[in-house]
Homo-oligomer: A and B are copies of this chain.
Amino acid sequence: MSARKQKLINKPEAIVDEMLAGFCAAYHDIVRLERERLVVRAEPKAPGKVGLVMGGGSGHEPAMLGWVGEGLLDVNVVGEVFSAPGPGPIIEGIRAADRGAGVLLCVSHHEGDRLNAELALEFCEMEGIENVDMVILYDDISSAPKGSESERRGTAGLFFVWKMLGAYCEGAVDLAAAKALAEKARDNTRSLAMSLSSCASPVSGEVMFEMAEGEMEIGMGLHGEVGRGRQKALSADDTIDLMLPQILDDLPFHAGDEALVLLNNSGSLTLMELFILYRRVEKMLREADIKVHKSWIGAYATTLETAGFAISLCRVDDQLKDLWDAPANGAYMKQV
């Protein structure tokens, strides 16, 4: 199959700004466009609490736009499609998130995001903006071997981190503690993705890479970064049987553990397929005596219209469970 080149857009140069205009108009009770490319909570969090900023390229909607809101992120700095925003907008985001208790800049680990975050922090120092720190987040087991976790990419599983960190920072007054919590959530999270198809850039109209009908690739990144090579597409059950044990072995998860589970749609997989996949995930976890605290199935962090999915697991203790269960009100992440 070929990816869909025809897009419902206006001018390719304007897609990010027009997207943000539409998004913020639709969810004006939750978010506000503070300035170009800066999505902030409609109601800022209480003063004296740690602010949370997340920057990143677009093309992953509802990530991260949809997770700005109460109990979630304070600010999302939005870049071009699949391209991290530069330090200028990030600094503006840090300013917007500051409620007097410091700001944590969250970075989903990709070279561009990390480099621009570093630059932003250097500029902050030069400009005397204090009490800002950054945390690098990653979860994709396919991008670097065990032992080199810090070289791994950030993918769909960071969903868990935003949610729990957001809940934590709703009340947190200490930046270092917030960073430690982010690291704890990250270090308990593992993801692995697969794809059946490519996607086409709405900017260039070009297909990102070619994939033949009937092929699949395990380990693709959130921008279609190459994984472990192409193979013949497997059945739903065989795909899970291939992927899930790798995730379980990596942390590793043990019998008796409790976990959050995300089955993330990369774009154009159907929910029907995801439910069929989840059936196998649930069975395997049950047999491994890993208790599912809560599961989420849907499109959370997409790669445009790619057909594929990721499995993400996060091992939770009582603290993380409480944070997970805390209320949240983002446009695409609601919890009572």
- Give A274's nearest chain B residue, CB to CB: B22
**Which residues on the B side are within 8 Å of A329 (C-beta)?**
336
Interface set, chain A 201-241, CB cutoff 8 A to B = 202, 213-216, 233, 235-237, 239
How many A residues are at the interface, by size bracket? 35 or more
**Which residues on the B side are within 8 Å of A272 (C-beta)?**
9, 15, 19, 58-59, 61, 81, 202, 304
- Which of A9, A61, A239, A271 has most chain B Cβ within 10 Å? A271
A146 to chain B, nearest CB (A): 27
A88 to chain B, nearest CB (A): 23
The proximity string for A residues 171-206 relative to B, scoring 1 for CB distances below 8 Å and 0 otherwise, is 000000000000000000000000011000010000
Q: Complex formed: what's the CA distance from A155 to B304 in Å?
A: 25
**Which residues on the B side are within 8 Å of A275 (C-beta)?**
18-23, 26, 61
Using A25-B278, A272-B19 as known contacts, say yes or no to A196 and B62 having CB atoms under 8 A apart.
no
Using A235-B9, A236-B9, A336-B336 as known contacts, say yes or no to A4 and B276 having CB atoms under 8 A apart.
no
- Give A238's nearest chain B residue, CB to CB: B10
A277 sits at the interface (CB 8 A): yes
The proximity string for A residues 1-26 relative to B, scoring 1 for CB distances below 8 Å and 0 otherwise, is 11111111110000100111111011
**Which residues on the B side are within 8 Å of A270 (C-beta)?**
7, 59, 61, 202, 267, 302, 304-305
**Which residues on the B side are within 8 Å of A334 (C-beta)?**
334-336
**Which residues on the B side are within 8 Å of A326 (C-beta)?**
none
A35 sits at the interface (CB 8 A): no
A131 sits at the interface (CB 8 A): no
**Which residues on the B side are within 8 Å of A197 (C-beta)?**
4
A262 to chain B, nearest CB (A): 11
**Which residues on the B side are within 8 Å of A267 (C-beta)?**
268, 270
A279 sits at the interface (CB 8 A): yes
A239 near B8 with CB under 8 A, answer: yes
**Which residues on the B side are within 8 Å of A9 (C-beta)?**
235-236, 272-273, 276
**Which residues on the B side are within 8 Å of A268 (C-beta)?**
4, 267-268, 305, 307
A295 sits at the interface (CB 8 A): yes
A290 sits at the interface (CB 8 A): no
**Which residues on the B side are within 8 Å of A26 (C-beta)?**
275, 278, 282, 295, 297
**Which residues on the B side are within 8 Å of A278 (C-beta)?**
22-23, 25-26
A132 sits at the interface (CB 8 A): no
A277 near B22 with CB under 8 A, answer: yes
A299 sits at the interface (CB 8 A): yes
**Which residues on the B side are within 8 Å of A279 (C-beta)?**
18-19, 21-22, 25
Q: Complex formed: what's the CA distance from A304 to B124 in Å?
A: 48
30 A–B contact pairs at CB < 8 A? A1-B2, A1-B4, A1-B5, A2-B2, A4-B196, A8-B233, A8-B239, A8-B273, A8-B277, A8-B309, A9-B235, A9-B272, A10-B235, A10-B236, A15-B272, A18-B236, A18-B276, A22-B274, A22-B277, A22-B282, A58-B272, A59-B272, A61-B270, A61-B271, A81-B272, A202-B270, A267-B270, A268-B268, A270-B305, A271-B299
